[in-house]
């Protein structure tokens, strides 16, 4: 009913709008004022967490993209090797696991059969398994050693939105907690990031308040045959999530590339008028990557691409090469996916609406897939 949708026409629109609240709720009670993290509910003792020598993240769909982003954060903050794999592949390739491996299973529903089978396999190999889930008491957390719940609230729209952002928050919390527990040398950086993480609800709110031009843009692209997405570092999985959203909702061909790979093949696809969405890295620290992407934007534009550029506010370097410039708040690199994903959700949703699709129940898809 209209009341359940909070006055919105679709659950998805309501769920996109709820993201600042969902992030705040996922942080609530877990971050003390002095920056100490409390994640006792994970049921994994600090002693066990100090023994871990490898992390393996398994998930499907959007949850897999959250895992890809988590890898950058966990390896950087904790210096623990971290692999990420789609659950349906992981399970059947005889992966190397042992009791010092922490397997993190990310699943909104806690019921995806592929992920559940990976969890069972990991436990048979004596690995510790931590679930990141949104549905209390669902199967995956029940079968795992520990769980960290995302507090996004029920998500009705089939395509993940607020659960994706809160999965990212949960992954960041796990990474920062591991760094704290293992007493790593980056104390100051970790504390600064925790402070920034606490401010993410307002940053996402800012994005939502400035996203109208994205809707107009999406409507103008309803007839496009394909849309390409480019990113690098954490912006690469963000690009993958943007492409997945477009496939799921708008039934449109979309593909994401690591921007550095462009020259190794995909640049041959560029032709006049082809829409290309580019996620520009933050200018913090890794400005080398930032400058490389600016060159990529120039290269594709010179070949006729219609460039849709998502960049930090005040980043004037991209403006001359952007047919459309979408500004997001400047936040630390590793947290940028929280703000960069939002315009992509809105873009896919609005484009799908322009085509007359039901964005809550896209054709052929299920909210949770309980078969292999």
Residues lying near ligand G6P in the complex (CB under 6 A): 60-63, 107-109, 112, 115, 158-160, 365, 367-369
**CA pseudo-torsion sign 91, 94, 99, 101:** negative
CB of 177 to ligand G6P, least distance (A): 21
> In terms of CB distance, is 111 or 255 closer to ligand G6P?
111
Q: Closer to ligand G6P by CB, 119 or 204: give it.
A: 119
Nearer to ligand G6P, 119 or 228 (CB): 119
Number of residues that this document lists for the chain: 372
Q: How far apart are CA 158 and CA 47, in angstroms?
A: 39
- Least Å from the CB of residue 104 to ligand G6P: 13
Residue 96, judged by CB atoms within 10 A of its CB (0-12, 13-18, 19+), counts as exposed
Calpha distance 83→73 (Å, rounded)? 12
Least distance between ligand G6P and beta carbon 362 (Å):
8
Nearest distance, CB of residue 146 and ligand G6P, angstroms: 17
For residue 173, the Cα-to-chain-centroid distance in whole angstroms is: 14
Terminal-residue alpha carbon distance, the chain: 33
Tokens at 361, concatenated: 């129940």
Please identify the residue of the shown chain whose CB is closest to the bound ligand G6P: 61
User: 245 catalytic, yes or no?
Assistant: no
CB of 141 to ligand G6P, least distance (A): 12
Q: 67 or 146, CB closer to ligand G6P?
A: 67
- Please give the Cα distance from 150 to 165 (Å, whole number): 9
Residue among 107 and 282 whose Cβ is closer to ligand G6P? 107
Between CA 270 and CA 173 the distance in angstroms is 39
Closest by CA position to 160, among listed 5, 336, 22, 15: 15
CB of 159 to ligand G6P, least distance (A): 5
For residue 41, report the phi and psi dihedrals to the nearest 5 degrees.
-60, -15
**Measured between alpha carbons, how far is 247 from 362 in angstroms, rounded to an integer?**
10
Measured from the CB atom, the residue of 111 and 284 that comes closer to ligand G6P is 111
Strand-pairing partners, residue 48, are: none
Please compute Rg for the chain using Cα positions.
20
Cα–Cα distance measured from residue 56 to residue 282, given in angstroms and rounded to the nearest whole number: 27
Tell me whether residue 77 or residue 229 sits nearer to ligand G6P (CB atom). Answer: 229
Least separation in angstroms between CB 363 and ligand G6P: 12
| Residue 312 near residue 330 (C-beta atoms within 8 A) | yes
Name the phi and psi angles at 247, rounded to 5: -65, -50
The residues assigned a catalytic role are 367
């Amino acid at each position: 009913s209209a009341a359940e949708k909070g006055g919105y026409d679709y659950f998805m629109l309501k769920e996109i709008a709820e993201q600042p609240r969902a992030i705040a709720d996922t942080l609530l009670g877990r971050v003390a004022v002095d920056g100490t993290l409390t994640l006792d509910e994970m049921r994994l003792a600090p002693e066990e967490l100090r023994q871990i020598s490898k992390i393996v993240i398994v998930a499907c769909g959007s949850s897999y993209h959250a895992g890809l982003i988590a890898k950058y954060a966990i390896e950087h903050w904790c210096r623990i090797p971290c692999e990420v794999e789609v659950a349906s592949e992981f399970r059947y390739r005889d992966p190397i696991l042992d009791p010092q491996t922490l397997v993190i299973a990310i699943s909104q529903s806690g019921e995806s059969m592929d992920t559940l089978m990976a969890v069972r396999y990991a436990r048979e190999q004596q690995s510790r398994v931590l679930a990141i889930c949104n549905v209390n008491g669902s199967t995956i957390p029940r079968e795992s050693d520990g769980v960290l719940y995302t507090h996004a609230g029920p998500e009705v729209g089939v395509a993940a939105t607020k659960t994706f952002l809160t999965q990212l928050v949960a992954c960041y919390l796990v990474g920062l907690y591991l760094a704290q527990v293992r007493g790593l040398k980056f104390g100051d950086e970790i504390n600064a990031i925790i402070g920034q993480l606490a401010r993410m609800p307002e940053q996402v709110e800012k994005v939502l308040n400035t996203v109208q031009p994205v809707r107009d843009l999406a409507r103008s692209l309803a007839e496009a045959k394909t849309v390409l997405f480019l990113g690098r570092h954490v912006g690469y999985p963000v690009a993958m999530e943007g492409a997945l959203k477009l496939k799921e909702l708008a039934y449109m061909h979309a593909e994401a590339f690591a921007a550095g790979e462009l020259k190794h093949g995909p640049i041959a696809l560029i032709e006049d008028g082809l829409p290309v969405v580019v996620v520009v890295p933050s200018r913090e620290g890794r400005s080398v990557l930032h400058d490389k992407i600016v060159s990529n934007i120039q290269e594709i534009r010179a070949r006729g691409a219609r460039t849709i550029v998502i960049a930090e506010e005040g980043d004037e370097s991209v403006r001359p090469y952007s047919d459309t410039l979408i500004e997001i708040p400047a936040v630390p690199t590793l947290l940028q996916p929280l703000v960069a994903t939002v315009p992509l959700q809105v873009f896919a949703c609005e484009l799908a609406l322009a085509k007359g699709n039901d964005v809550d129940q896209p054709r052929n898809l299920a909210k949770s897939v309980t078969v292999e």
